[in-house]
Amino acid sequence: MSSTFGSHFKISTWGESHGAGVGVVIDGCPPGVSLSREMIQQALDRRRPGQSDIVTPRQEADEVEILSGVLDGTTLGTPIALSVRNKDHRSSAYDEMQHIYRPSHADYCYDAKYGIRAWAGGGRASARETIGRVAAGAVAEAVVRRLCPDVAVIGWVEQVHTIVCPVRPEEVNAAVVESNIVRTADAESAAKMAAAIREARSQGDSLGGIVACTVRNCPVGLGDPVFDKLEATLAHAMLSIPACKGFEVGSGFTAPRYRGSEHNDAFYMEGERVRTRTNFSGGIQGGISNGEDINMRLAFKPTATLMLEQDTVNDAHQEVRLRGKGRHDACVLPRAVPVVEAMVWLVLCEHLLHQRALRLN
């Protein structure tokens, strides 16, 4: 298992859904950065279960404890250990799943790969695993903003099932996103999406969608060709999020529609600053940020665990029927937004520290 991410700002997450807790150790955080428990708790509150009626009702306060690496509100440069205890886990709901593989979930593959599986709650394959990411992302954000105070990372739900929020990336307002329980970019879409999620849930079914994310005021020069291009590490980060099936940056999968003469982003000068007239590149050229907004989109599949009866097999390799139990999100997207943002902060922090090591003057 590889639960380590990053090279300079290196995080190691841990924890099963129904074990003692979940958390992360961050190795390589620079010293002298202001960091409080509240900064991390706020980030976790945005992903925690039970925050609205359209997400899983599991009741977890997800209170974080800083175990090391911080003294009097300032990072020491030593490893930062963050821990969240599991409280409201009801393993009994999983009794049936101990031997039966949920379709499109990780159950079968974990058994095949490891020969053993923490069946209760999904173990590491639970969305609960993302707590460590979000906690570490809050620390990464603190580091990046210390160095580049204007950088903003804004994620939002652009689509749920067939409902598309029409707001363009450059017009998205973070306060609006945070003001609705779906975390989409306008109130009208929010109402429609919430209704769709409630309906799917009432049917025991689930929905997927698109999360979009934009980075504003990113410094020029982040990204490390040829293998750790900025879009490559972002893609790695995003496809590691549970249920993510696709990633695109800038024009993405619409790029083939254009000829080069239409798609190229013409450079011009805006005062002292090199700008581009269009932004098909999505803020990245040659694997390196060019200072324009970094625009990306992620596809999420509908949640695999359903309250409907499904055909499947068990670990004795017999064909059986399964009806899911437990408390699950009928749509992960509202809670995926802070996870996506956290992964972006982690990627930006990594490249920013690398660039500081690299550039001598």
Region 285-304 residues binding a second copy, contact defined as CB under 8 A: 285-290, 297, 299-304
Identify which of 175, 157, 179, 178 has the alpha carbon closest to the alpha carbon of residue 167: 157
Q: Which amino acid is at 163?
A: I
Residue 312 interacts with a second copy (CB under 8 A): yes or no: yes
CB closer to a second copy out of 73 and 173: 73
Interface residue with a second copy, options 151, 154, 238, 339 (CB under 8 A): 238
- The two tokens of residue 19 are 């074990």
CB closer to a second copy out of 80 and 167: 80
Residue 50 interacts with a second copy (CB under 8 A): yes or no: no
> Within 326-345, which residues bind a second copy (CB under 8 A)?
none
Interface with a second copy by CB under 8 A: which range of 35-43, 49-57, 155-163, 184-192? 155-163
Q: Which amino acid is at 62?
A: D
Interface residue with a second copy, options 49, 121, 137, 223 (CB under 8 A): 223
Q: Which amino acid is at 120?
A: A
Q: Site size for a second copy, by CB under 8 A?
A: 155
**DSSP, res 303:** P
> Within 119-148, which residues bind a second copy (CB under 8 A)?
123-125, 129, 146-147
**Three-state DSSP class for 176?**
helix
Q: How far is the CB of 175 from a second copy (least distance, A)?
A: 26
Q: How far is the CB of 103 from a second copy (least distance, A)?
A: 4
- The two tokens of residue 315 are 């670990």
If you write DSSP's letter for every residue of 185-198 in order, what string do you get? SSHHHHHHHHHHHH
CB closer to a second copy out of 53 and 267: 267
Phi/psi for 198 (5° steps) reads -60, -40
Interface residue with a second copy, options 90, 98, 109, 170 (CB under 8 A): 109
CB closer to a second copy out of 49 and 250: 250
Question: Rounded to whole angstroms, how far apart are CA atoms 77 and 286?
Answer: 32
If you write DSSP's letter for every residue of 76-132 in order, what string do you get? -SS-EEEEEE-----GGGGGGGGTBPPTTSSHHHHHHHHS----GGGGGGSGGGHHH
Identify which of 356, 321, 342 has the alpha carbon closest to the alpha carbon of residue 240: 342
- The two tokens of residue 60 are 């977890």
Interface with a second copy by CB under 8 A: which range of 5-13, 47-55, 87-95, 169-177? 5-13
Residue 107 interacts with a second copy (CB under 8 A): yes or no: yes
Q: How far is the CB of 161 from a second copy (least distance, A)?
A: 6
Question: Rounded to whole angstroms, how far apart are CA atoms 22 and 17?
Answer: 8
CB closer to a second copy out of 173 and 200: 200
> Within 17-36, which residues bind a second copy (CB under 8 A)?
19-23, 25, 27-28, 30-33
CB closer to a second copy out of 179 and 254: 254
Give Cβ neighbours of residue 113 (< 8 Å, ≥ 6 apart): none
Residue 224 interacts with a second copy (CB under 8 A): yes or no: yes
